[in-house]
Amino acid sequence: MLNVARMRDSLNLEFSRIGRVLSSPKRIEIIELLRQCPKSVETLADNTGMSLANTSQHLQVLRGAGMVEAQRQGTYMIYQLTSPLVHELVSMVRQVAETHLADVDRAIAKIREGAAELENVDRMKLVQLAKEGKVIVLDVRPSDEYEAGHLPYAVSIPLAKLEKELSSLPHEQQIVAYCRGPYCLLAGEAVRILRKKGFQASNIRDGVGEWKALGLPVETGAPEEQDMKQTR
């Protein structure tokens, strides 16, 4: 006769493995980064500020749980999420935490306090304004993420290079920055830098993933390729 209790416990033990994987903030960060595009260990280490050894350790834990996979490209191992479900799970965890944990709610409120965030954005109107050159949509993620997918007519200036590239931006135009989605802080920091230098700047919570989920257009390619598209 089957031992139902033992089988149930065994099954729940397997489910709990996923919870243990997500108990690390750095592994959650890696999942968010890999949602943007596949990345090497070296790139992930640079993006997260961890050592190569620590980054590799976290990737092995994620790989052991079936949440990421790797392929060799030349001398590099390139990692990617095994399924969109992996990020959907992280997104649900974040939503539950924001809804039910007061500390999370307070932290997010503090981050967004005084932020120049555009709410209830008419996304297609924003695309049209960017197409007409009336608004600059600024992607402040690393360039590899921009190339993998970006909002239509977006300009790429990674946050790390923004202060050096300010001279390329016109003061008379409204700038709308975005990054990796509602829990990403890069766009808010970009807006603070821009406003301090006298630019008209605001940010939106959307990232590429949110646009894809809504069935909105997303473009790919390096900045130079994108410029060529726009001038055709």
From CA 52, how far away is CA 159, in angstroms rounded?
A: 22
Name the CA dihedral angle for 43, 44, 46, 52, rounded to a multiple of 10 degrees: -100
Q: Which of 59, 130, 179, 194 is catalytic?
A: 179
Catalytic site includes residue 184: no
From CA 203, how far away is CA 186, in angstroms rounded?
A: 10
Q: Which of 145, 165, 158 is nearest to 218 (CA)?
A: 145
Q: Which of 81, 71, 68, 69 is nearest to 37 (CA)?
A: 81
Tell me the two tokens of residue 38: 């596949």
Q: Kindly list the distances between the CA atom of residue 72 and the CA atoms of 12, 46, 76, 80, in Å, as whole numbers in the listed order.
A: 34, 19, 6, 12
Number of residues assigned to the chain: 232
Which residues have C-beta within 8 Å of that of residue 219, sequence separation ≥ 6? 149, 150, 151, 152, 153, 154, 226, 229
Match 């033990």 to its residue by tokens. 13
Please check whether residue 138 is in contact with residue 177, taking contact to mean a CB–CB distance below 8 angstroms: yes
Please check whether residue 53 is in contact with residue 46, taking contact to mean a CB–CB distance below 8 angstroms: no
The set of catalytic residues is 179
